[in-house]
């Protein structure tokens, strides 16, 4: 699925930071190889690491989910070198560990519902889906149904078959047990749905909607726990 990002400076800086840390970690591995490997430079291993880093960069450009696969492979390969450096040159190991820590922190911010929404495509039984029912209120008091999921970090994902450009302010109404909650959110990103599936809009809650966000998130977590327990019990009971 293609991801379209509006004028969001955060993702620009995140991509730049990740690119810088990828280069920095490659330089660390190169330096470690030059200092530690006295019997020759490990060209094959370093070439593999460069290829993985290149795939990280390419998949990050379009925010493909495969970025996390290549990112994990890259992390593990570098972490092995960090452990080896710790035993031989502690200062070098500390440098590598610091770079890995910074790399992990930046990826934590990247793993937001706005950029990488968590979607359980394999869960086809809607009885166990944790999406919340909602409505998008359009002009003229027209309403279209939607689903709201992955509510975390003051953001969420809105699933809808209606097309909206990034930057649009959506007036949402989410159904809760006691009463529906109405608020406005801004579309920051759009993941175009494959045929038969809705588009996913990464939305940000404004500061004046924080009370609504906390209430919705609390209900979403409780609902997810209840459905998970019910599904697990059904599997156990057969």
| Same domain as 129, residue 101 | no
Each residue's pLDDT expressed in tens, for the chain with a length of 238 residues = 555 565 567 888 999 999 999 999 999 999 888 887 666 677 888 899 999 999 999 999 888 999 999 999 999 999 999 998 888 888 989 999 999 999 999 999 999 989 998 766 555 555 656 788 889 988 877 888 888 888 898 899 999 888 888 888 888 888 888 788 888 888 888 887 677 788 889 998 888 878 888 888 888 888 878 766 666 555 445 5
Is the pTM above the cut of 0.85?
A: no
- CATH number assigned to the domain comprising residue 138: 2.40.10.220
Domain end (from 67, 86, 110): 110
| Same domain as 171, residue 199 | yes
| Same domain as 105, residue 145 | no
List the domain range (segments joined by +) for residue 178: 119-208
Residue 55 in any domain: the answer is: yes
Residue 222 in any domain: the answer is: no
The tally of domains found in the chain comes to 2
Would you mind telling me the total number of residues written for the chain in this entry? 238
Domain end (from 83, 110, 137): 110
| Same domain as 140, residue 93 | no
Domain end (from 60, 80, 110): 110
| Same domain as 124, residue 106 | no
| Same domain as 68, residue 15 | yes
Q: Which of 57, 65, 66 is nearest to 21 (CA)?
A: 57
CB 73 within 8 A of CB 59: no
| Same domain as 159, residue 133 | yes
């Amino acid at each position: 699925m293609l991801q379209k990002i509006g004028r969001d400076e955060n993702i620009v800086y995140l991509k730049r930071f990740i690119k810088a840390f990828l280069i920095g970690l490659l330089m660390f591995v190169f330096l470690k190889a030059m200092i530690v490997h006295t019997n020759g430079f490990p060209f094959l291993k370093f070439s593999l690491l460069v290829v993985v880093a290149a795939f990280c960069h390419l998949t990050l450009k379009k925010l493909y989910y495969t970025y996390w696969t290549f990112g994990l492979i890259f992390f593990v390969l570098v972490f092995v070198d960090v452990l080896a450096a710790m035993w031989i040159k502690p200062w070098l190991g500390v440098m590598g560990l610091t770079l890995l820590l910074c790399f992990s922190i930046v990826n934590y911010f990247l793993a937001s519902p706005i950029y990488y929404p968590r979607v359980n495509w394999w869960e086809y039984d809607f009885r166990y889906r944790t999406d919340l029912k909602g409505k998008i209120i359009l002009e003229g008091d027209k309403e279209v149904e939607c689903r709201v999921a992955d509510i975390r970090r003051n953001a969420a994902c809105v699933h809808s078959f209606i097309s909206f450009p990034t930057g649009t302010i959506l007036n949402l109404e989410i159904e809760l047990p006691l009463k529906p909650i109405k608020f406005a959110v801004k579309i920051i990103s759009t993941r175009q749905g494959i045929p038969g599936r809705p588009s996913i809009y990464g939305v940000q809650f404004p500061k004046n909607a924080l009370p609504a966000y906390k209430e919705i998130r609390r209900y979403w977590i409780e609902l997810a726990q209840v459905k998970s327990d019910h599904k697990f019990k059904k599997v156990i009971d057969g």
